[in-house]
Amino acid sequence: MGETSLNEKSKTLLVTGGAGFIGANFVLRAADAGHKVVNLDALTYAGNQENLAALAQNPRHVFVHGNIGDEALVDSLLAAHKPDALVHFAAESHVDRSILGPEVFLKTNVLGTFTLLQAALKHWRGLASYAQNSFRFLHVSTDEVYGSLSPTDPAFREDTPYQPNSPYSASKAGSDHLVRAWFHTYGLPVLTTNCSNNYGPFQFPEKLIPLMIHNALKGEALPVYGDGLNVRDWLYVEDHCDAIMTVLEHGRVGETYNVGGLNEQTNLSVVKTLCSLLDQLQPDGAPHERLVHYVKDRPGHDRRYAIDCKKIQTELGWQPRESFKTGLEKTVRWYLDHQSWVDHVTSGAYRTWVAANYSNAGR
């Protein structure tokens, strides 16, 4: 199996989930770099074509409304566009939703990935040898597959054993194993990235940072699980997209690369830092920290995640550009400048879900 990588020349990329948070940021970056992007997205609650408004008149972006589980559709897109790589973001990705309704996570994250792998394998086998050598299937995954760390444990490495603790992380672990198997069994040229918690523009306000910004601006409670001391490594989404492109262009076939922001923070520290930023940028509601409200911890809440990303740093030369301070300020300013976007995505269904998820538990 060759290790010729996707080079920096203009390529055609089939991107799944490219209307979602990380996917849309990647699509914008890829199109800006001159690549053609065929963007397959089911437009579930977290997928939003408004995220792609900047590409509305861009001929390098082709949007296709459809599901990754539709094998015939995926086959037709591969045949029609002959992509040089398939970049797989599409996933159900929110732990809390996986606790309330795990079935869709298995269908999308496991069976959907299986469908894509089968379609990509058929496509790859039909390519000329030079095209086979350059084709890539890049699977975007999460650090949550590794389980939970104590405060003194070393950070997750690529060879850390999998110990998923939620339906979400279990479904992503299953998809990771399928990708690995399709490489070792069938020779499909795959790459896998496992990232830490992302934040930045276009993130649906169910995740911690945009939820806190959204609630704080409305003067509503800022719900913090348990004691708020659960630790996450925070990665600015544009840094993550740069890492994915770096792996796509230069990564070794069959390898996994962990991607982290080198910014471990407790949830409570994140919320307090956000409140301080909002006090400066939106002083009408200050002090925003008065809105912090502790709620009952969620089931199976992992205590700490941390990423050791030395492999991608030393092998591929990637480094995160944003510190937590600079990335968080950019994020807050983006949400303040895009309130109409927030208003559009926070529908009645969203409000119903938030009420159901956080109503169990004031303390």
Which residues are catalytically annotated? 143-144, 168
Tokens 């995505």, located at residue: 345
Q: Is the peptide bond before 287 cis (omega within 30 degrees of 0)?
A: yes
In angstroms, rounded to a whole number, what is the distance separating the alpha carbons of residues 143 and 158?
Answer: 10
Enclosing H/E stretch for 139: strand 136-142
Tokens of 123: 């496509």
SS (H, E, C) 175-241: HHHHHHHHHHHHCCCEEEEEECEEECCCCCCCCHHHHHHHHHHHCCCEEEECCCCCEEEEEEHHHHH
Q: What is the SS3 assignment for 127?
A: coil
Residue 120 CB coordination number (10 Å): 26
In angstroms, rounded to a whole number, what is the distance separating the alpha carbons of residues 359 and 52?
Answer: 33
Contact by Cβ (8 Å): 335, 288: no
DSSP string spanning 269-319?
HHHHHHHHHHHHH-GGG--GGGGEEEEPPPTT--SB--B--HHHHHHH---
